[in-house]
Structure 1
Amino acid sequence: MKKIIFTLYLLLAMFPFIWSQTILNANGTGNTYEDINAVLAPNYNVVEVPDCVHNAFGRHIDEIFDTELNENVFRFFAHKIPDNDRCQNFDRQRTEIKTYSQSPDDLKATLGETVEYKWRFKLPVGFQVSPNFTHLHQIKSVGGSFASIPMITITARKATPDRIELRYTPTNNQSTIQTANLDLFRGHWVEATEIITFSDTGSYTIELKRVSDDSILLSYNNNAIDTWQDGADFARPKWGIYRSLINIDDLRDEEVLFNNFSIEEIDELSISDFEIAPDEITLVPNPAKNSITFKNANKEDYDAIILYNTLGEIIPIEKRLTENKLDVSELTSGLYYIVFTKNKRQIKVLKCLIK
């Protein structure tokens, strides 16, 4: 019997709160579209595929077992001929999944929110790309005058050499802000971690890391960037393969693998204190890249500091901690919990973003 993962609620025995995260993982052959919809928009449809013109092939997203990850994964198909964009646009083709207006509220980013998106993908060894665009991921606005153009795009492009591009715009004039050689990605599972604070004065961080050896293939960080397209109702992610057909001779049939999709809204803890010290403990800076200082942390108020990742695993900090400063320079980007205890009881739990 297949196990469908919807919103995952991880209740840590040590934590006085519930951490929630929406996860989409492949779970075996059959019912792929239904399983995706059940997670990203229950009772609605988030799957955008060219089945209407290529019905003889069957569904353009299925699931296979991957021996490298030792788990089921999603396989996205794009055929050079006859696939198009849902029988609506014929100069491009699209096999994508998304969140949208019918998705749960916690899958739609609104102004002022910070959201962490994570996923894994694998491009074929001989992956061929258009000189126009071959999108793999987008952050798009819904509503407003700039909704037609993605604010953030990860696209592959034919060049010398072929490359992965990180493209950005707060309006309608998208530009490339970071690139990497596409050969670094071909034939490898890559883990993406993207953290966005959605604001006119927001922040954006992304890291693309090879799973096999943790090599960072592309990274970008900007703590002073406009990440809200004016007039938007909300922003939402898309994943898949969406490519131009204008230079069709540059293309071939492709199978791109995806899995381990995760969307988490990062908000202030609803419960963080039991014995609140007169001076509130805060983390400076937060988000952090190199080190964190515990402001107003008086040694007599606590016995120990414990660092957890989002899986509830304890991260050793003995060699990282000096007085009230924690070295985080070698930690993987993402969300962490810093727990202060006294007499084996928690007195403070704080969220920290590592970039």
Structure 2
Amino acid sequence: MKKITIIILVLSYKLCVCQVLLDANGQGNTYEEITQVLAPGYNPVEVPDCNHSIFGRHIDEIFDTSLNVYVFRFILHTTPDNDRCLNFDRQRNEIKSYDKSPDNLLGIENEIVEYKWKFKLDIGLQVSSNFTHIHQLKSVGGSLASMPMYTLTLRKSNPDRIELRYAETDTQITLKQTDLTPLKGVWIQAIETIKYGTNGTYKIVLKKVSDDTELFSYTNNSIINWRTGADFVRPKWGIYRSLKNSSDLRDEEVLFANFSIEELSTLSNNNEQMFDDKIQLFPNPSKNLVKIKEGISDSYTSLKIYNNLGQEVLHQKSNLKIIDISEFTLGVYQVIFQKNKKNIAIKKLVID
């Protein structure tokens, strides 16, 4: 007989709500692996295959001897690759989360999210004097959606450089830049932490995987990270480059590994005080159904349940007062209550 235990979770700003991982496994179904994590049943892969089908897939997996794991290889050819047969002055080979992705892969206002990944640029990498983006955080919704909020871009110069670009509205500025040379030919660990909001914070650190040497960093503890009319912010990784000076370029490969999206905090102090102790789950234990008791009427409008891998297993878009857990496997789950798309309470559910 299954034993169901409901545990009230005491929250703080350092609480990890959930973490989603994307790792190469070498089995060959690369697009399917990426899709299963970033947008199950949809298409989070933006590749130039439509105009270069004879080559095959432009993201595959290879075994890397320095990391001793399989990694993702993103491939672009100077010709004939373009931007999904939509734009022909640029090339795109990227993966992303978007509106079809699970909500825990989308940054929302007042949420703190940590993005981690590894990447390796070839020692002979050639970049555009216009842009060669390898990572973006893009705001979706509102009039400024076409302009990325943060961008890591590589630019031809003397010497070539890596730039961290930022746009509060529709104009980008360079927050910091440095010589690209030390970042070539080695695996780099990127850790990016952002608090989304009009009183936001941002930090990024790039280190060599081999010896933990810091090669680039930037921190801002008071920066605007939310735009009027925005619905969410989504990450993108890959190669997105201009063809306006194609003579600067060559066929290119960039390696990526160990993507992680982790929600560090989603509740404000006020919301925690107002609702977290006002929502209860019972009985304890339970076999099939868990009931919800509210101390404040209509305190939530929907709920989501995540397993211990950070995968969404239930999204109930109503304030029904019963959760059917009869088909859940054994393990630890988190029940996140929302009102108007904002998290207002979290409870831990253990099924053993």
Scaled by the length of structure 1, the TM-score of the pair is: 0.70
Which residue in 1 is equivalent to 2:192?
194
Which residue in 1 is equivalent to 2:257?
259
Higher relative contact order (CA 8 A, sep 6+): 2
| Separation in structure 2 between the aligned mates of residue 257 and residue 140 of structure 1, nearest angstrom | 22
Change (3 A) 1:85 1:18: closer
Which residue in 1 is equivalent to 2:3?
none
| 8 Å Cα contact 1:110/1:234 also seen in 2 | yes
Which residue in 2 is equivalent to 1:74?
72
TM-align CA RMSD: 1.9
- Gaps in structure 1 of 5+ consecutive residues: 1-14, 271-355
Residue 255 of structure 2: SS of its match in structure 1? strand
Correspondence list, 1:110-259, <5 A: 110-259=108-257
More displaced stretch, 83-92 vs 16-25: 16-25
1:48 correspondence with 2:42: no
Q: 2:59 aligns with which of 58, 61, 78?
A: 61
Residue 221 of structure 1: SS of its match in structure 2? strand
> Shift of residue 228 of structure 1?
1.0
- Gaps in structure 2 of 5+ consecutive residues: 1-9, 269-352
> Shift of residue 30 of structure 1?
1.1
Change (3 A) 1:18 1:81: closer
| 8 Å Cα contact 2:192/2:205 also seen in 1 | yes
> Shift of residue 269 of structure 1?
8.6
> Shift of residue 45 of structure 1?
0.5
> Shift of residue 266 of structure 1?
1.2
> Shift of residue 123 of structure 1?
0.3
Change (3 A) 1:119 1:18: closer
Which residue in 2 is equivalent to 1:324?
none
| 8 Å Cα contact 2:112/2:266 also seen in 1 | no
| 8 Å Cα contact 1:141/1:229 also seen in 2 | yes
Residue 37 of structure 1: SS of its match in structure 2? helix
Which residue identity lines up with residue 98 of structure 2 in the other structure? Y
Which residue in 2 is equivalent to 1:85?
83
Which residue identity lines up with residue 181 of structure 1 in the other structure? D
Deviation per CA, 1:205-240, whole angstroms, max 9, x where unpaired? 000111111111110000000011221100010000
1:102 correspondence with 2:100: yes
Which residue in 2 is equivalent to 1:7?
none
| Separation in structure 2 between the aligned mates of residue 157 and residue 267 of structure 1, nearest angstrom | 34
Which residue identity lines up with residue 239 of structure 2 in the other structure? I
| 8 Å Cα contact 1:140/1:237 also seen in 2 | yes
Change (3 A) 1:113 1:19: closer
Scaled by the length of structure 2, the TM-score of the pair is: 0.71
| Separation in structure 2 between the aligned mates of residue 50 and residue 121 of structure 1, nearest angstrom | 20
Deviation per CA, 1:77-120, whole angstroms, max 9, x where unpaired? 01011000000000000000000000001000111111000000
| 8 Å Cα contact 1:191/1:209 also seen in 2 | yes
| Separation in structure 1 between the aligned mates of residue 147 and residue 16 of structure 2, nearest angstrom | 36
Which residue in 2 is equivalent to 1:275?
none
Which residue identity lines up with residue 61 of structure 2 in the other structure? E
| Separation in structure 2 between the aligned mates of residue 210 and residue 267 of structure 1, nearest angstrom | 28
Which residue identity lines up with residue 165 of structure 2 in the other structure? R
| 8 Å Cα contact 2:17/2:264 also seen in 1 | no
Which residue identity lines up with residue 250 of structure 1 in the other structure? D
Deviation per CA, 1:292-313, whole angstroms, max 9, x where unpaired? xxxxxxxxxxxxxxxxxxxxxx
Correspondence list, 1:320-339, <5 A: none
| 8 Å Cα contact 2:110/2:266 also seen in 1 | no
- Name the count of aligned residue pairs: 257
> Shift of residue 20 of structure 1?
2.7
Deviation per CA, 1:133-169, whole angstroms, max 9, x where unpaired? 0000000011011100100000000011100000001
> Shift of residue 29 of structure 1?
3.6
| 8 Å Cα contact 1:151/1:229 also seen in 2 | no
Divergent runs of 4+, >3 A: 15-19
Deviation per CA, 1:272-307, whole angstroms, max 9, x where unpaired? xxxxxxxxxxxxxxxxxxxxxxxxxxxxxxxxxxxx
Residue 52 of structure 1: SS of its match in structure 2? helix
Q: Report percent identity of matched pairs.
A: 62
| 8 Å Cα contact 1:29/1:62 also seen in 2 | no
| Separation in structure 2 between the aligned mates of residue 71 and residue 178 of structure 1, nearest angstrom | 32
